[in-house]
C-alpha cells in the first residue's frame, strides 16, 4: 500500500514534459507570456466587469503578437526577478514587463527591437520635496528600487546609497510611505499611478533619463523573435503603441477609493480571497497526505536493519531540515527546469515542496512515536506468530499514531501557514491574492489583515477538529 501511495505521488505531480507555447512546437496554439503585473501602466491588475484581469499596454502588445501568430495568449504573473529564469527554463515563451535590454541581460536572453522609451524619476514624500534638488543629494540615503531592474543599476551608481531592493513596485512605495526609505527610483509612467497628496516627485533626475523597453525571447528562438519584431514594426507604423499607452494610462488613472475600510475591502474582493482559500486548502491537503506517506517511509528506513536504508533515511531528514523551504522551492521550480528540462506547474512544485519538507519533520515525529511504544508489544506480537510487518501495522503503528497525534496536528497547522511561500512562484493562494488586492486598492495593510484573519480561521478550525479526534482516540484510555 505504501508503494502504491508513492506511485500515486509521482503520477499526481508528474512534470509537464515541456513548456507550453509556440517555442517548442510550431503546431501549438498557445503563447505563454511572463510578466510582473504590478507595473502600471505597462501591466497591472484591474477589476473589470467584476473579474480580476491583467491589463496594460504591454498586455495589449502581447495580444497583438499572439493574434499575428494565431495563438492563444496565456499570461503567467510572477516576481520580476523570476522572469529571466522562467524564460531560460522554457516555462514561458516570452517576457514583456517593461524590461530594459541591458548588456548583462543580453548574455542570457535575446531581445526584440525596442517598442517604448521612458524617463527615470525620483519619487519622494512631498514633505521632502526640497530636500533632493540634485542626484548628489541622494548620496548615503536609503533608496527603494525594484529587484533586478535598471533602477537597481542606477541606484548602485549613487555613492553610499543604501538600496532596498524588492520585487513589487507597490512594496517599494509602501516602504516610502512608512519612512523606511527616503526615495525610490521608478519610471515616470509608473510613478503617475502612485502620486497623491503624500507622494510626489523630486527635482533630482537620474543621468540615465531614457530607458528602453523590449520583449525578451529565449536565446536561439529566431522564429518567434522575427515574428515579434514584425508585430512591433506594424504597430509602430500604425502609431498604435502610443494609443495603447494612452488607453492604459487612462485605465490606470481610474483608481479605487483608498478610504475603504477593511470590511468594505473584504466584501468587494471576497471572490479573490475565496479563490486563494481554495488553492491554499488544496496545497495543504495534498502536502499533508503525501507528507505523511513520505514521512512514514523515511521513518521506516531510519528504523530498518539494513544500513543503506538507514543512511538514506538519515540523509534525507538532515538535508531537508537543514535547508530553507524557499530554497527547496526554487530548486524544484527553476533548478530542475534549467538543468533537466523538467517543468512543474506552480501547483505541482508547491505540492512537491510541501510534501518533501513536511515529510522530513513527520518522519522524526513518527520515529519518536514508534520508539515510544514498549518493545514488549512487538515481542508479544511476534511470539503470537505475527510477522514483523503485521505487528508494526496492527500493534505498534496504531499506538504510535495516537501518541504523536498532537505533534502531527501542529505540523498540519504549520503546513497551512507555510504554504504562503508558494505565492512567490505565482501560485494563486491567499497571500498571492492579498498582494493582488493590495496592488488594486493601493492599501498596504487591510489586504494582509484580511489574509491573516483567514489563516487564523483555517488553523483554528483545524486545531479544534484535531482536538476532537484526539479526545475520541483517547476515550478508551484508563488514567
CATH of segment(s) 116-211: 3.40.190.10
- d(C-alpha 191, C-alpha 169), whole Å: 9
Is omega for the bond preceding 41 within 30 degrees of 0, making it cis? yes
Return residue ranges of the chain for CATH 3.40.190.10.
19-115+214-254, 116-211
Note the pLDDT of residue 17. 33
Query: Tens place of pLDDT for every residue, the chain, 479 residues?
Result: 444 344 344 444 443 333 333 444 444 588 999 998 888 888 988 887 778 889 999 999 999 999 999 999 999 988 888 889 889 888 899 999 988 898 888 999 999 999 998 888 999 999 998 899 999 999 999 999 988 888 888 899 899 999 999 888 888 888 898 899 999 999 888 887 788 888 899 999 887 657 789 999 999 899 999 999 999 999 999 989 988 988 888 787 665 555 678 888 888 888 889 999 999 999 988 988 899 899 989 988 998 888 999 999 999 999 999 999 999 999 998 888 888 888 888 888 999 999 999 999 999 988 888 887 777 877 787 788 788 778 777 888 787 777 777 788 888 888 888 888 888 887 888 998 888 888 777 777 889 999 999 999 998 998 888 878 777 766 665 55
- d(C-alpha 124, C-alpha 128), whole Å: 7
Neighbours of 251 (CB within 10 A): 16
For residue 133, give the C-alpha cell.
Answer: 534638488
* Helix-, strand-, coil-residue percentages of the chain, each rounded to 5: 60, 15, 25
- d(C-alpha 457, C-alpha 434), whole Å: 16
314 and 377 Cβ atoms separated by less than 8 Å: no
- d(C-alpha 201, C-alpha 191), whole Å: 8
- The alpha carbon of residue 232 and the mean position of all alpha carbons in its chain are separated, in whole angstroms, by 30
Three-state secondary structure call for residue 436: helix
CATH class entry, domain 19-115+214-254: alpha beta
Note the pLDDT of residue 236. 92
Note the pLDDT of residue 208. 67
Helix extents (H) in 304-396: 307-321, 325-330, 336-340, 346-372, 375-383, 388-391
Return residue ranges of the chain for CATH 1.10.3720.10.
265-473
Neighbours of 197 (CB within 10 A): 6
Q: Count helices and strands (H / E) in the chain.
A: 20, 14
Three-state secondary structure call for residue 396: helix
Query: Which residues make beta-bridge pairs with 201?
Result: 123
CATH class entry, domain 265-473: mainly alpha
- d(C-alpha 121, C-alpha 202), whole Å: 8
* C-alpha closest to that of 32 among 93, 77, 112: 93
154 and 212 Cβ atoms separated by less than 8 Å: no
Note the pLDDT of residue 225. 94
Could you tell me which residues come within 8 angstroms of residue 328 by beta carbon, excluding any fewer than 6 positions away?
A: 320, 353, 356, 357
Three-state secondary structure call for residue 227: helix
Upper half-sphere CA count for residue 275 (Cβ side, 13 Å): 12
- d(C-alpha 62, C-alpha 64), whole Å: 5
Amino acid at each position: 500500500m505504501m508503494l502504491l501511495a508513492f506511485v500515486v505521488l509521482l503520477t499526481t505531480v508528474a512534470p509537464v514534459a515541456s513548456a507550453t507555447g509556440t517555442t517548442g512546437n510550431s503546431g501549438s496554439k498557445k503563447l505563454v507570456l511572463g510578466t510582473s503585473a504590478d507595473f502600471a501602466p505597462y501591466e497591472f491588475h484591474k477589476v473589470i466587469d467584476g473579474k480580476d484581469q491583467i491589463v496594460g499596454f504591454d498586455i495589449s502588445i502581447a495580444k497583438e503578437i499572439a493574434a499575428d501568430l494565431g495563438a492563444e495568449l496565456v499570461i503567467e504573473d510572477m516576481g520580476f526577478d523570476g522572469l529571466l529564469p522562467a524564460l531560460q527554463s522554457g516555462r514561458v515563451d516570452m517576457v514583456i514587463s517593461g524590461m530594459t535590454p541591458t548588456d548583462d541581460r543580453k548574455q542570457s536572453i535575446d531581445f526584440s527591437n525596442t517598442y517604448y522609451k521612458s524617463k527615470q524619476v525620483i519619487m519622494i514624500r512631498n514633505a521632502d520635496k526640497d530636500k533632493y534638488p540634485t542626484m548628489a543629494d541622494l548620496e548615503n540615503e536609503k533608496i527603494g528600487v525594484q529587484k533586478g531592474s535598471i533602477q537597481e543599476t542606477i541606484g548602485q551608481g549613487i555613492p553610499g546609497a543604501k538600496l532596498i531592493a524588492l520585487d513589487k513596485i507597490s512594496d517599494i512605495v509602501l516602504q516610502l510611505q512608512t519612512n523606511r526609505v527616503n526615495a525610490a527610483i521608478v519610471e515616470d509612467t509608473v510613478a503617475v499611478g502612485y502620486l497623491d497628496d503624500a507622494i510626489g516627485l523630486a527635482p533630482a533626475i537620474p543621468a540615465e533619463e531614457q530607458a528602453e523597453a523590449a520583449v525578451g525571447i529565449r536565446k536561439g528562438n529566431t522564429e518567434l523573435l522575427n515574428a515579434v519584431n514584425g508585430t512591433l514594426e506594424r504597430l509602430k507604423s500604425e502609431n498604435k503603441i502610443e494609443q495603447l499607452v494612452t488607453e492604459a494610462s487612462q485605465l490606470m488613472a481610474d483608481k479605487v477609493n483608498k478610504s475603504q475600510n477593511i470590511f468594505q475591502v473584504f466584501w468587494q474582493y471576497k471572490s479573490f480571497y475565496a479563490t486563494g482559500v481554495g488553492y491554499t486548502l488544496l496545497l495543504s491537503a495534498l502536502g499533508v497526505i503525501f507528507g505523511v506517506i513520505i514521512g512514514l517511509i523515511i521513518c521506516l528506513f531510519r528504523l530498518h536493519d539494513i544500513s543503506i536504508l538507514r543512511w538514506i533515511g538519515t540523509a534525507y531528514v538532515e538535508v531537508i531540515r537543514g535547508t530553507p523551504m524557499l530554497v527547496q522551492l526554487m530548486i524544484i521550480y527553476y533548478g530542475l527546469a534549467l538543468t533537466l528540462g523538467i517543468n512543474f506547474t506552480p501547483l505541482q512544485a508547491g505540492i512537491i515542496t510541501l510534501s518533501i519538507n513536511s515529510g522530513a519533520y513527520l518522519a522524526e515525529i513518527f520515529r519518536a512515536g514508534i520508539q515510544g511504544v514498549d518493545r514488549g508489544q512487538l515481542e508479544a506480537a511476534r511470539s503470537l506468530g505475527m510477522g514483523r510487518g503485521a505487528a508494526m501495522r496492527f500493534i505498534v503503528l496504531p499506538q504510535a499514531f495516537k501518541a504523536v497525534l498532537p505533534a502531527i496536528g501542529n505540523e498540519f497547522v504549520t503546513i497551512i501557514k507555510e504554504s504562503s511561500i508558494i505565492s512567490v512562484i505565482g501560485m494563486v493562494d491567499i497571500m498571492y491574492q492579498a498582494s493582488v488586492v493590495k496592488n488594486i486598492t493601493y492599501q498596504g495593510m487591510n489586504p494582509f489583515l484580511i489574509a491573516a484573519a483567514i489563516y487564523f480561521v483555517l488553523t483554528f478550525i483545524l486545531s479544534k477538529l484535531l482536538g476532537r479526534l484526539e479526545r475520541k482516540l483517547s476515550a478508551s484510555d484508563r488514567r
